[in-house]
């Protein structure tokens, strides 16, 4: 569609005939996410009426949300294997222009630093001590206890930039680096806390990344569950699937927006979460 045709469509957004406006909005939405930069440029024009600007804002949001939904659902339908791609897809809810390649480069930079310090003959505990040193001392990652429920804690790009996150976002970054190093480290879904496990046929222990990589045992999980008065289910001890991680990230986001009263975002994310459950 030529610029002149697009301009004509946008000019009809404040038409007095609501049916015309509805048809124009449907036509613009049918053009897909590629039309967003044009709409953003038009929105910046001071000559537009407030009505058109508001409708452009709504159209841009709807198109961006549609692109976000498509990324998440396509990742899920493709098998939910690449956790970085899943986290990237979630982050595009707030950062629609976010580059997956940028995230890959930032993860790779941490990996390279760890790779130079690890040796093949290291004991598993020494491997974790080394990775902890790189992650917490060299790259200064840490717990965001001050703003624990902030939505930014679920945005992997923000956590990589600020080096502060919640348990699950820190665990995902740590796990991505560890798995690039060929270490058998996976996520574990504990109640109220997300942790990692180092698991082989011969050895298994647990890592609390939110507490600077503290290593602990199955007995410690037993005691933790007992304090919460929760039964010792197998799910609390064994690796979870990547889809479980993304579902939990989405639930954290929903809680974050509930706390600030953003009911529209809660509704949108609830709809996405339901598509990953059915």
Q: Where are the domains of the chain?
A: 3-77, 83-275
Asked if residue 136 has pLDDT above 90, the reply is yes
pTM: 0.89
Beta carbons of 38 and 8 less than 8 angstroms apart: no
Instruction: Tell which wins on pLDDT, 121 or 102.
Output: 102
Q: How far apart are the first and last CA of the chain?
A: 38
DSSP characters over 68-135: HHHHHHHHHHTTS--HHHHHHHHHTTT-TT--HHHHHHHHHHHHHHHHTT--TT--HHHHHHHHHIII
Beta carbons of 151 and 167 less than 8 angstroms apart: no
- Span 254-272, mean pLDDT? 96
The three-point CA angle 141-173-202 to 5° equals 110
**Mean pLDDT, the chain, as a whole number?**
93
Asked if residue 1 has pLDDT above 70, the reply is no
Multiple choice CATH, 83-275, 3.10.620, 1.10.357, 3.90.660, 1.10.3470: 3.10.620
pLDDT in tens, 53-63: 888 888 989 99
pLDDT at 194 (0 to 100): 97
- Span 136-147, mean pLDDT? 95
Place of tokens 């992997």: 156
**Closest C-alpha among 264, 252, 259, 258 to residue 273:** 252
- Span 245-251, mean pLDDT? 98
pLDDT in tens, 162-193: 999 999 999 999 999 999 999 999 999 999 99
pLDDT in tens, 19-41: 888 888 888 888 887 888 888 88
Decide the pairing of beta strands 185-190 and 164-165.
unpaired
């Amino acid at each position: 569609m030529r610029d002149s045709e697009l301009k004509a469509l946008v000019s009809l957004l404040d038409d007095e005939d609501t049916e015309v406006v509805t048809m124009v909005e449907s036509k613009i939405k049918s053009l897909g996410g590629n039309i967003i930069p044009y709409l953003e440029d038009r929105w910046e024009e001071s000559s537009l009426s407030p009505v058109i600007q508001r409708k452009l804002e709504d159209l841009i949001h709807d198109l961006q949300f549609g692109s976000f939904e498509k990324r998440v659902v396509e990742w899920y339908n493709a098998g939910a294997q690449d956790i970085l791609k899943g986290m990237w897809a979630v982050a595009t809810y707030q950062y629609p222009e976010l580059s997956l390649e940028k995230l890959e480069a930032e993860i790779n930079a941490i990996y390279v630093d760890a790779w130079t310090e690890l040796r093949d003959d290291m004991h598993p505990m020494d491997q974790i001590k080394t990775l902890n040193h790189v992650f917490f001392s060299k790259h200064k990652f840490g717990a965001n206890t001050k703003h624990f429920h902030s939505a930014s804690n679920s945005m992997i790009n923000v956590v990589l930039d600020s080096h502060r996150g919640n348990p699950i976002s820190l665990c995902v970054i740590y796990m991505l680096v560890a798995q690039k190093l060929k270490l058998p480290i996976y996520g574990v879904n504990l109640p109220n806390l997300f942790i990692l496990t180092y698991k082989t046929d011969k050895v298994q222990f647990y890592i609390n990344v939110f507490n600077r990589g503290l290593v602990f045992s199955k007995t410690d999980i037993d005691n933790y569950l007992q304090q919460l008065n929760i039964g010792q289910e197998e799910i609390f001890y064994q690796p979870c699937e990547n889809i479980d991680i993304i579902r939990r990230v989405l639930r954290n986001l929903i809680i974050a927006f509930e706390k600030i009263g953003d009911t529209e975002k809660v509704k949108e994310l609830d709809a996405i979460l339901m598509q990953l459950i059915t």
